[in-house]
Structure 1
Amino acid sequence: MAVTRHGRIGVDVERADRVIDPRLVTLPAFFTAAESDQLAGLPERAARARLLTLWTRKEAIGKVTGHGLSLALRGVEVSAGPSAPVALPGGGKAWLHRPVLSAPYVGALATTRPVARIVVRSAVPWLQNNWPPRGLNTGMTLG
């Protein structure tokens, strides 16, 4: 969950130990040629880490626009390094941030305005003591 007082916000968090085939980056529906080039020649472990960085940034952009994965992700180019504002389809900009998360998580945060400070707090201890909410059977367990 993310909260801001100004503008819109989009967040994506993924497990860094998630098994991903780095060849997925060649899917033209999601990645630009420049993004695919960022993975070229990297060892498999580095390619997976770079792919997760690119993917979490794209998902955060989709969420900040309100379109989610229905956004034409190939039309938004992100980098795996420190980023300048990203041009959004249809106009406007988003700023990408890489919050420092506890292992094994990686993530990206997109905002529609520059942000000077990001505070990350973990909800896991609270969730472990309060999940599932009374009367809600989700079939999910945390642990």
Structure 2
Amino acid sequence: MNLKKIFPLVLLLVSFTFYAQGERMREKKEQIKTMKVAFLTTELNLTSSEAEKFWPVYNTFDDKQFELRHQKMKSFMRRMNDESVDKMSEKEASAFLNQMESTEEELFLLRKKFIATLKSILPATKIIQLRKSEEDFNRKLLQQYRDKGPKR
């Protein structure tokens, strides 16, 4: 068979596989987000007025936080996991550390702004409860992942 005929077919199959994986990841993310909304709704016991103001602010914050964590931090982790960390010069390591610190600061400032906005929507007790509930949800999610993971 001619390579010119096989190549487009292989490219199509590879593209479809990546698309399918991307779709599964999006579905998983949406599923987790739905579970998180249900969990936080139950834990925070928001009034309808609070919920109406809270969810748009929370969703915007959560999306920005996800973007920062999964785009920038993921690239940092990838770089730290490869062999290049051992071969970095002091100057490269310093620049890399500055990038990491900058991203951490962005995350901190994002959360700080989020909390400042929440203060006009929720009482302080519910803001603290939100933080606790987020951590509880993350622990619960991690435990589910561990329980379903490969048995050793």
Q: TM class, shorter-chain normalised?
A: under 0.3
Structure number with the bigger relative contact order (C-alpha 8 A, sep ≥ 6) is 2
Higher percent of residues as helix: 2
Q: TM-score, normalised by structure 2?
A: 0.23
Higher percent of residues as strand: 1
The structure with more radius of gyration: 2
